Chain A
Amino acid sequence: DVQVTQSPSTLSASVGNTVTITCRASQSIVDWLAWYQVKPGKAPKLLIYRASSLESGVPSRFSGSGSGTEFTLTISSLQPDDFATYYCQHYYNYPWTFGQGTKVEFK
């Protein structure tokens, strides 16, 4: 199985900051990686697919990059609505797996 390791587990930041979250895959997954935002009681939201493609309707302050085994999600100019938990997920082959999650909290 492809393992996905996400870091950091927690990130403290302020409104207006730029934050970066990293995912590393245990083998090359080309660019078959997605990023999601998860908030309690709400439907999780797709942010990025194919490593760097922005889902329709997602603000442009979210961006993804990387290929092979190293990937990043960057949130520029953090907004109050962005405080949430973020997960990466590979869909290179079955079983699909998620990273451990990164909680972005108020500093």
Chain B
Amino acid sequence: QVQLQESGPGLVKPSEILSLTCSVSGGSISGQYWSWIRLPPGKGLEWIGNIYYSGSTNYNPSLKSRVTISVDTSKNQFSLKLSSVTAADTAVYYCARNLNGYYFDYWGQGTLVTVSS
């Protein structure tokens, strides 16, 4: 059973960089796509972007200028960096697997990141 776990700071200051890591267990990160998704309070889910295990990426155009997703196959992890954050970036951030590059079949439990000074 594949399991995903998000980790990173729960509080980030405005204008700084939000950094999160997703650790994958119970299966290899190789051969699949992996995504970041967020859920702002009182709003709906938003897909941030994904990465193939080889390193190729796709980003949501609404965030593309501020997002970097990377992968470390040796650690079975992938990461998210979101720069120049504002209060609007406060959300629960989820990592998930895209089965064969399509829908999200495994998700992490999510981690709340608050942007505040």
Q: Which residues of A contact B (CB under 8 A)?
A: 1, 32, 34, 36, 38, 41-46, 49, 55, 87, 89, 91, 94-101
Contacts and interface: CB of A to CB of B under 8 A. Distances in A.
Contacts of A95: 47, 58-62
Given A1-B61, A32-B102, A45-B107, 19 more contacts: A36-B45, A36-B104, A38-B45, A43-B106, A43-B107, A43-B108, A44-B104, A44-B107, A46-B104, A49-B105, A87-B44, A87-B45, A91-B103, A95-B61, A95-B62, A96-B47, A98-B44, A101-B44, A101-B45
22 contacts: A1-B61, A32-B102, A34-B103, A36-B104, A41-B109, A41-B110, A42-B109, A43-B106, A43-B108, A43-B109, A44-B107, A45-B107, A49-B103, A87-B45, A89-B45, A89-B103, A95-B62, A96-B47, A97-B47, A98-B44, A98-B45, A98-B47
A87 to B, nearest CB: 5
Contact of A38 (B39, B58, B62, B108): B39
How many interface residues does chain B have, given as a range?
20 to 34
Contacts of A98: 44-47
A34 B97 CA distance: 14
B93 interface: no
A89 B39 CA distance: 14
Contacts of A45: 107
Nearest to A45: B107
B94 interface: yes
